[in-house]
Amino acid sequence: MALTESDVTRIARLARLHLQENETASLQTELNEVMHLIEQLQSINTDGIEPLAHPLSAIADVGLRLRDDEALPTNDEQRRDQLMQNAPARDAGVFLVPRVIE
């Protein structure tokens, strides 16, 4: 099943990727080449086979570990600023984004 141009637009929207209008057609071709490769999977009989999410569960029961729910010390202001140093826009310990509520 081939992806249409509107599929590509919808996927880009879901993936939060802005597309230039002239990009849609070439992306459609590329993504369909990939889908063509992926379609090979449909020919394999996997009846009764459990999906494998964690590779080591091929040999053992793997459960995700939970840590104890304990309170850790809060970062001081200096560490906070250090942790936020890569933010494109910040002010007094908050990340700045465009206005969302008028």
Partner 1 sequence: MSRFLDDFPTIAAYRAGLDQGQFSVTQATDALLSDIQTHRALNAFVDTDAKRSLAQATEAQAQLATEQSHSLTGVPLAHKDIFVTEGWRTTAGSRMLANYVSPFDATVVAALNKAGTVSLGKVSCDEFAMGSGNEHALTGPVLNPWDHDVVPGGSSGGSAAAVAARLVLGATGTDTGGSVRQPAALCGICGIKPTYGVASRFGMIAYASSLDQAGVMATNADDLALLLDAISGYDSRDATSVQTCHGAANAPGRILGEYNALGQQYAGDKPLAGLRIGIPKEYFGDGLNTDVARVIEAALTQFEALGATRVEISLPNTAYAIPAYYVIAPAEASSNLARFDGVRYGHRTNQYNDLQDMTERSRAEGFGDEVRKRIMIGTYVLSHGYYDAYYLQAQRVRRLIAQGFQTAFADQCDVIMGPVSPTVAPAIGSVSNDATAEWLGDIYTLSVNLAGLPGLSIPCGFAPGHKGQDLPVGLQLIGNYFDEGRLLAVAKQFQQVTDWHERRPGVAA
Nearest distance, CB of residue 82 and partner 1, angstroms: 5
How far apart are alpha carbons 11 and 5 in whole angstroms?
10
Chain centroid to Cα 87, Å, comes to 20
Instruction: Indicate the residue among 14 and 71 with the shorter CB distance to partner 1.
Output: 14
Nearest distance, CB of residue 31 and partner 1, angstroms: 6
What are the residues binding partner 1 (CB under 8 A)? Answer: 3, 7-8, 11-12, 14-19, 27, 29-31, 33-42, 44, 46, 49-56, 58-59, 64-65, 67, 82-89, 95, 97-98, 100
Residue in 12, 8, 9, 10 with CA at minimum distance from that of residue 29: 8
